[in-house]
Structure 1
Amino acid sequence: MKIAILGTRGIPNYYGGFEQFAEYFSVYLAEQGHEVYCYNSHNHKFQESSFHGVHILHQYDPEYKLGTFGQFIYDYNCIKDSRKRNFDIILQLGYTSSSIWFFLLPKKSLIITNMDGLEWKRSKYSWPVKQFLKFAEWLAAKTSDVLVSDSIGIQKLLEKNYKKTSTYIAYGALPFYKPDETILQHYHLEKERYNMIMARFEPENNLDMVLDGVALQHDSDPTPILVIGNHQTKYGVYLKNKFKAYSNIRFVGAIYDITTLNNLRYFSKLYFHGHSVGGTNPSLLEAMASKALIAAHNNDFNKGVLQENALYFSSALEVKKILANTKKSDNLQFITNNYNAIVHEFNWTKINAAYLQLFEQTLERFKNRK
Structure 2
Amino acid sequence: MKLRIGILGTRGIPNNYGGFEQISAYLAQGLVQRGHEVTVYNGHKHPYQLTTWRGINIVHCHNPEHWMGMSGQFVYDLNCILDARKRSFDAILIMGYTSSSVWGKLYPRDSVIISNMDGLEWMRTKYSKPVQRFLQFAEKLAVKFSDNYIADSLAIQKYLRDKYDISPAYIPYAAEIMPFTDDRICNEFRLIKHNYMLLIARMEPENNIDTILSGFTKSSTSQHMVVVGDTANKHGRHLVNIFRNDKRILFAGPVFDTQKLHSLRSFSSLYFHGHSVGGTNPSLLEAMASKVYVVAHDNAFNRQILEKDASYFNTALDIKKIIEEDIPAVKKETAIEDNFNKIIHRYNWDRIVAKYEQFILSCCNSATVEEHIYHPGYIGK
User: What band does the TM-score fall into relative to the shorter chain?
Assistant: over 0.9
* Counterpart code for 1:350: R
> Secondary structure of the residue that 1:44 maps to in structure 2?
coil
Aligned residue among 160, 168, 179 for 2:181: 179
Bigger Cα displacement from structure 2, 232-241 vs 203-212: 232-241
Q: Which residue of 2 aligns with 1:63?
A: 65
Q: Which residue of 2 aligns with 1:247?
A: 247
> Secondary structure of the residue that 2:20 maps to in structure 1?
helix
Shift of 1:237: 2.1
> Secondary structure of the residue that 2:115 maps to in structure 1?
strand
Q: Which residue of 2 aligns with 1:135?
A: 137
Q: Which residue of 2 aligns with 1:352?
A: 353
Q: Which residue of 2 aligns with 1:311?
A: 311
What is the rounded CA distance, in whole Å, between the counterparts of 1:361 and 1:234 in structure 2? 44
Q: Which residue of 1 aligns with 2:160?
A: 158
1:104-253 aligned at under 5 Å gives the runs 104-217=106-219, 220-253=220-253
Q: Which residue of 1 aligns with 2:378?
A: none
Q: Which residue of 1 aligns with 2:283?
A: 283
Contact 1:213–1:318 (Cα < 8 Å) also in 2: yes
How many residues were matched structurally? 368
Shift of 1:89: 0.5
Q: Which residue of 2 aligns with 1:17?
A: 19
Q: Deviations over 1:231-264 (max 9, x none)?
A: 1222222222222221111111111111111111
What is the rounded CA distance, in whole Å, between the counterparts of 1:43 and 1:312 in structure 2? 40
> Secondary structure of the residue that 2:150 maps to in structure 1?
strand
Q: Deviations over 1:65-85 (max 9, x none)?
A: 101111101110111111111
> Secondary structure of the residue that 1:264 maps to in structure 2?
helix
Contact 1:11–1:22 (Cα < 8 Å) also in 2: yes
Bigger Cα displacement from structure 2, 337-346 vs 235-244: 235-244
2:341 is the alignment partner of 1:335: no
> Secondary structure of the residue that 1:369 maps to in structure 2?
helix
Q: Deviations over 1:148-205 (max 9, x none)?
A: 0111111011112212110000101101331222321121111211111111111110
> Secondary structure of the residue that 1:277 maps to in structure 2?
coil
2:63 is the alignment partner of 1:34: no
What is the rounded CA distance, in whole Å, between the counterparts of 1:123 and 1:294 in structure 2? 24
> Secondary structure of the residue that 2:312 maps to in structure 1?
strand
Contact 1:108–1:369 (Cα < 8 Å) also in 2: no
> Secondary structure of the residue that 2:82 maps to in structure 1?
helix
What is the rounded CA distance, in whole Å, between the counterparts of 2:78 and 2:54 in structure 1? 26
Question: For the aligned residues, what is the CA RMSD?
Answer: 1.3
What is the rounded CA distance, in whole Å, between the counterparts of 2:183 and 2:4 in structure 1? 45
> Secondary structure of the residue that 1:138 maps to in structure 2?
helix
Identity of aligned residues (%): 47
What is the rounded CA distance, in whole Å, between the counterparts of 1:22 and 1:198 in structure 2? 20
What is the rounded CA distance, in whole Å, between the counterparts of 1:32 and 1:252 in structure 2? 38
Q: Which residue of 1 aligns with 2:376?
A: none
* Counterpart code for 2:8: L
> Secondary structure of the residue that 1:230 maps to in structure 2?
coil
* Counterpart code for 2:243: F
Shift of 1:142: 2.4
Shift of 1:328: 7.0
Shift of 1:365: 1.1
What is the rounded CA distance, in whole Å, between the counterparts of 2:319 and 2:343 in structure 1? 26
Contact 1:270–1:328 (Cα < 8 Å) also in 2: no
What is the rounded CA distance, in whole Å, between the counterparts of 2:221 and 2:64 in structure 1? 47
Against the structure 1 CA distance between its residues 369 and 68, is the aligned structure 2 distance closer, same or farther, given a 3 Å change threshold? Answer: farther
Bigger Cα displacement from structure 2, 294-303 vs 253-262: 253-262
What is the rounded CA distance, in whole Å, between the counterparts of 2:248 and 2:328 in structure 1? 20
What is the rounded CA distance, in whole Å, between the counterparts of 1:322 and 1:242 in structure 2? 22
Bigger Cα displacement from structure 2, 348-357 vs 226-235: 226-235
* Counterpart code for 2:176: L
What is the rounded CA distance, in whole Å, between the counterparts of 2:287 and 2:113 in structure 1? 32
Shift of 1:266: 0.6
Q: Normalized against structure 2, the TM-score is what?
A: 0.94
* Counterpart code for 1:34: H
> Secondary structure of the residue that 1:67 maps to in structure 2?
helix
Aligned residue among 85, 88, 91 for 2:90: 88
What is the rounded CA distance, in whole Å, between the counterparts of 1:79 and 1:252 in structure 2? 37
What is the rounded CA distance, in whole Å, between the counterparts of 2:291 and 2:58 in structure 1? 35
* Counterpart code for 1:239: L
Shift of 1:28: 1.8
Q: Normalized against structure 1, the TM-score is what?
A: 0.97
What is the rounded CA distance, in whole Å, between the counterparts of 2:69 and 2:326 in structure 1? 42
5+ residue gaps, structure 1, are: none
Bigger Cα displacement from structure 2, 344-353 vs 33-42: 33-42
5+ residue gaps, structure 2, are: 373-381
Shift of 1:222: 2.6
Q: Which residue of 2 aligns with 1:99?
A: 101
> Secondary structure of the residue that 1:47 maps to in structure 2?
coil
Contact 1:175–1:339 (Cα < 8 Å) also in 2: no
